[in-house]
Amino acid sequence: MSLEVLTPDLGEVPVFPVTPLDVYDWKDGVLIRTPNWLGDIVLTLPAMMALRKILPEKCGIFVACPKVFEPLFQALPGLADRIVGLRDAHRFPSLFEFNCIRGLYAGAGILFNNSFRDALWMRAALVPRLYGAAARNRSWLLTRAFEFPKRRDRVLNRPHHAAKYLAMAAALGAPPWDGTLPEFRIPYSPECASDEVRRAVESEHLLAVAPGAAYGAAKRWDTASFREVCRWWIAERGGVVAVLSAKGEAELASAAVQGLPAESVIDLAGKTTLTELMRILRNAEMCVANDSGNMHLSAALGGKGVAPFGPTDPAATAPISPAWRLLFNKRECAPCFRRVCPDGSRKCLSCISADDVIAQIRLLLHA
């Protein structure tokens, strides 16, 4: 098949019977247990915005999330009223965390993940009404379990992840999402930032590149192709390139700019806090990223960008912004959702060239 250029589209939101909560049922608010991945957390934001519109006066949105992602919600003061950071999101909360959650006096809890363990401890925390997807034999713990189609390999899947979260919010009476994104208020103290971070935050014509992908090697576009895009940006746009990644992927990410003019490269791979990352992505004129948390975060911050898709599904995990373009060449084996390509060819991604990405950047710059 030929290369497809896709504009993100959430598609239809599943429809479930609506059972609104009584004003007193909310108690002091709703507790939301987020997913554990940055990209998935970003995809919950439209549902949280919709839920905000139906909360009774003086009720709040309370968030339980991995502690490392607390700064994301701290930058969204109009969305999250209280944040409980979980030091180990893959285990039961500590006694301190548990007591903090119980003390929120939430009348409802929504699990935007599929964890049985999280449903169990939310019940133990005396959250009286729990809502979430029917998954991992936890339905008996939920006040209402929502059935979604099981993911299938080698085909594009609907509904979109964000549409699933919106469907659960709508079942509680939330209005449809109006397409707007939350306003981020990102703190920044230049005097406390490194020289590299200051330069990235303040540079004009900044291209942010994110060559990593925590999920696995299979969905990482070729490093040499990233380098070609960076070389073009520097030569043709007269711009600066900032390389971004998690600490565990720093070496791989830095390889994407090897051999490029040092004065035009800011290597921040593994060197930024989440708050700094948000400031840099918001300043970027363009972003090129794999299907990753950086892609989703850039889109939520209002950025433009291009993402090559291969083993993952652009129909189900596209960013929540029409300002992005997704490149996808459907192969018989894709999307396979594997962390490592079974035959090692990575043909679903290798067929996407640097010129393909550059062509979309040109169009977006003039859109």
The CATH number of whichever domain residue 157 belongs to comes to 3.40.50.2000
Per the domain annotation, does 160 fall within a domain?
A: yes
Percentage of residues of the chain with pLDDT beyond 70: 99
Shared-domain flag, residues 216 and 361: yes
pLDDT of 330 reads: 87
Per the domain annotation, does 164 fall within a domain?
A: yes
Domain enclosing residue 329, as ranges? 191-365
Shared-domain flag, residues 162 and 202: no
pLDDT of 313 reads: 94
Whether the pLDDT of residue 331 is over 90: the answer is no
Q: For 148-166, what is the mean pLDDT? A: 95
Shared-domain flag, residues 228 and 87: no
Shared-domain flag, residues 142 and 230: no
Shared-domain flag, residues 147 and 210: no
Query: Of 131-140, 175-184, 206-215, which gets the smallest average pLDDT?
Result: 206-215
Shared-domain flag, residues 285 and 157: no
Full-model pTM? 0.96
pLDDT of 177 reads: 96
Shared-domain flag, residues 109 and 256: no
Shared-domain flag, residues 110 and 44: yes
Q: Using 50, 70 and 90 to split pLDDT, how confident is the model at 1?
A: low
Query: Of 75-79, 108-112, 130-134, which gets the smallest average pLDDT?
Result: 75-79
Final residue of a structural domain among 113, 139, 171: 171
Considering its fold, how many domains does the chain have in total?
A: 2
Per the domain annotation, does 332 fall within a domain?
A: yes
Q: Using 50, 70 and 90 to split pLDDT, how confident is the model at 214?
A: confident
Cα 325 to Cα 327: distance, rounded to the nearest angstrom: 7
pLDDT in tens, 219-265: 899 999 999 999 999 999 999 999 999 999 999 999 999 999 999 99
Per the domain annotation, does 115 fall within a domain?
A: yes
Shared-domain flag, residues 320 and 213: yes
Does 57 or 332 have the greater pLDDT score? 57
Shared-domain flag, residues 82 and 153: yes
Q: Using 50, 70 and 90 to split pLDDT, how confident is the model at 32?
A: very high
Whether the pLDDT of residue 216 is over 90: the answer is no
Shared-domain flag, residues 236 and 354: yes
Shared-domain flag, residues 148 and 216: no
